[in-house]
Chain A
Amino acid sequence: MPQAAAIMTVAERELIRYTRDHGRVVTTLFQPIMFLVIFGSGLSGSLSQGNFGVNFIQFMYPGILAMSIMGVAFFSTVSTVWDREFGFLKEILVAPVSRTSIALGKMAGAAVIASFQGIVLLGIAPIIGVRLHWALIAPLYAFMILLAFAVAGLGLFVASMVRTVENFGVIMNFLVFPLFFMSGAFFPLTSAPLWMKILSEANPLSYGVDAMRRIMLSGQVASEVLSRLLLRPAAANAALLLIFAAVFLTAAVVAFNKRA
C-alpha cells in the first residue's frame, strides 16, 4: 500500500467532515471578522502608542494570524477523540497502513483546515489597515501550514492520550493559554524575563509568530528595530517547527501503538 495515498485519504476525510460541519465553517469565517471589528474600532487607536518602534497593528497582525492557526489546528485534532468514541478509530487502526501515515494524514487535514482561517485573515488585512505586500502571501502561507502542522502534532499527541472529548477540551484549554501568552504575539519576547524566554523555546507558537513577524516587517522597518523584536532567522524557525512536529508525531504514534 503506497503510504502517500493513505495520508491523502485520511486527510481528505478530515476535510469532508469539516465542510459538512456548518458550525465550524461559519466560525472560520466569523472569527476573523470579529478581529476586524475589534481592531477596526477603538483598540488600535488606544494601543497604537506602544513603543515597539513599529505600528501596533503591523506588530500584532502576525501574532493574531499565528494564534488563529494554532486554535483551529489544535481543535481539529479532536476528531481523533471523536473517532475513538464513535468506534471509527478501530476501522482506521485495523487497516493495513502504518500508524505514522494515519497520524500524518490527520495532521495534514488539520493544517489545511487551519490555513482556511489564515486565508480569510489575509483577505481582511487591507480592511483593518495592515500593510501586506502580495509577494508575502506565499511565505506567510507556508509558515501557516508549518505552524498548523506542528500544533496538530501536539494536538494529536493529546488526542492519543485521552479517552473522552471532555478530557481533550480540558487539556487543550490548559495548554492553549500559556502557549498564547508566551508566544510573543502580544509583546516581543526579546524583552521578556529569562524564565519566559526559556519556556518559549519549547513553544511552537513562538516560532510561528517570530517567523511571520519577520516576513511581514522586514521590508517595512529598519533592521535595528527588527533585531529588537525578533529572535531567529526564518529558516531556524522552520526547522524548529519541523522538529516539534516530528517529536509529537512520534509520541502520538507510540501512544496509539500502546493504547489502541
Chain B
Amino acid sequence: MITPMAPILEVKDLVKKFGEFAAVNGVSFDVGEGEIFGFLGPNGAGKSTTIGILTTLIPPTSGEARVAGWSVTADKDKVRHSIGIVFQDPSLDDRLTAEENLRFHARLYGVPRGEYLKRMESVLKLVELWDRRSHIVRTFSGGMKRRLEIARGLIHYPRVLFLDEPTIGLDPQTRNHLWNYILELKRTQHMTIFMTTHYMLEAEYCDRIAIIDRGRIIASDTPANLKTAVGEDVISLTPADPAALAAELKEKFGLTAIPVDGQLEIHVTDAESYLPKLLSQSRSGIRSVTLHKPTLEDVFIKMTGRAIREQEASAADRMRAHFHGGH
C-alpha cells in the first residue's frame, strides 16, 4: 500500500448541499504526489460535485479542500494554475483546429510561446494527434476528442490532472489505449491523477480508490486490499469422482469442499499460490479448474447491499425528485 508522504490533495469534512439535498456529505481524504486516486461510485453519488469543488468551479457549503497546498476557496487562481481537467462532457471548441484549441489554452495559462510550440508537439504526439493538428475538431471522432482534451489538460504541466469519467462513451479498444497514455504520464511526469469512474475495471488502474455512495466515502484503500477485505477467492473444481476428491481435500489440505452442480467449490485466501500445490498433490483426478477472485463490484455490493447498476437508477430518481419539486 502506498502511503502518501506529502499530500497534494487534502480534503476535510467537505459538504455541498443543493437546497436540502447533500450531494457531498462530509467527505475527507488525502492524495499523495504521484498517486492515481479514484472515486468509484454510481452516477449521482457525488463524484462530479467533488471534482467541481476541487477545481474551484463549485463553492463548497462547508469543509476544506486544498490542492498543492492552496485553498480552493481562498486561492482559486493558484489552484487553477496547478490543475488540468478533463471534464465528463466535451469542452472543446469544435470550430477551431486541434492546434488552436491548445494555443488558446496555453495562452490563458501563461505558457510562453517558444515553450508552447515544444509542448504542443510533444503532447499531440503523445496522444497520436500530431498529424491532425490543423484539422477542425468537429471532424474528430469521440475518442480523438477525448485524447485532445487530455493533451490540452497537460500542456500547462499541471501538478494534478483531474479526469471526470475519462472514458465514458468510448469503445473498449479506445479505452485501453487511453489508459496506456494515462499510465505513461504517471511514469514519465510523476503526475498526480484524480479520477472518477463508475467502471469497475477502470478503478483497477488506481493506486487507491475511495468508494463513494450517496455523498459519503464508504471505503478507501488499494483495490487489492478492498477486495481482500470482502472475502476469499473461490476455486471451482470439476472432479472425475466428487466423493473421492472431497475426501482427499479434507484429508490432505483440511478443506471443506461445497458441492455445487456437480462441481466442488473451495474457499481460500490466496488462490494463486494454493492452486499449484493442490493440483500437484491431488491424486483423485481433476478435469477442470476455474478461479473467481472478488471484484470491486463484489466490494460495492458488500458495502452497500446493492449492485452499482441498480444503484444508478435510484440515484437518478433522487436527483429528479429533488430538482423537480420533490419537496
Contacts and interface: CB of A to CB of B under 8 A. Distances in A.
Interface stretch (B26-34, B92-100, B213-221, B252-260): B92-100
A20 interface: yes
Interface string B92-115: 111110001000110111100000
Interface of B: 55-57, 77-78, 80-81, 85, 87, 89-96, 100, 104-105, 107-110, 136, 152
Nearest to B80: A96
Nearest to A5: B107
Interface string A64-106: 0000000000000000000100111011111111000000000
A163 interface: no
Interface string A245-260: 0000000000000001
B104 A94 contact: no
A96 B57 contact: no
A87 B152 CA distance: 15
Nearest to A92: B108
Contact of B57 (A9, A16, A260): A260
A17 B95 contact: yes
A242 interface: no
A96 B109 CA distance: 6
Contacts of B109: 1, 95-96
Binding site secondary structure of chain A: helix
Given A1-B110, A87-B89, A87-B90, A94 B96 contact: no
Contacts of A97: 108
Interface centre among A1, A6, A91, A93 (most CB of B within 10 A): A91
A131 interface: no
Given A88-B91, A90-B57, A260-B57, A6 B108 contact: yes
A228 interface: no
Contacts of B57: 90, 93-94, 260
A6 B87 contact: no
Nearest to B94: A86
Chain A, interface residues (CB within 8 Å), range: 20 to 34
A90 B107 contact: no
Nearest to B138: A20
Contacts of B92: 87-88, 91
A160 B81 CA distance: 24
A219 B81 CA distance: 55
Contacts of B108: 1, 6, 9, 92, 95-97
Contact of A13 (B56, B81, B91, B104): B104
Contacts of A13: 93, 96, 100, 104
A1 B110 CA distance: 5
A1 B87 CA distance: 23
Contact of A95 (B80, B87, B94, B100): B80
A94 B85 contact: yes
A123 interface: no
Given A20-B136, A87-B89, A88-B92, 12 more contacts: A6-B108, A13-B93, A13-B100, A16-B96, A17-B95, A20-B95, A83-B93, A86-B91, A86-B93, A87-B91, A95-B105, A260-B57
Contacts of B90: 86-87
A16 B107 CA distance: 15
A87 B93 CA distance: 8
15 contacts: A1-B109, A1-B110, A6-B107, A13-B104, A16-B95, A16-B96, A17-B95, A83-B93, A87-B90, A88-B92, A91-B152, A94-B80, A95-B109, A96-B109, A97-B108
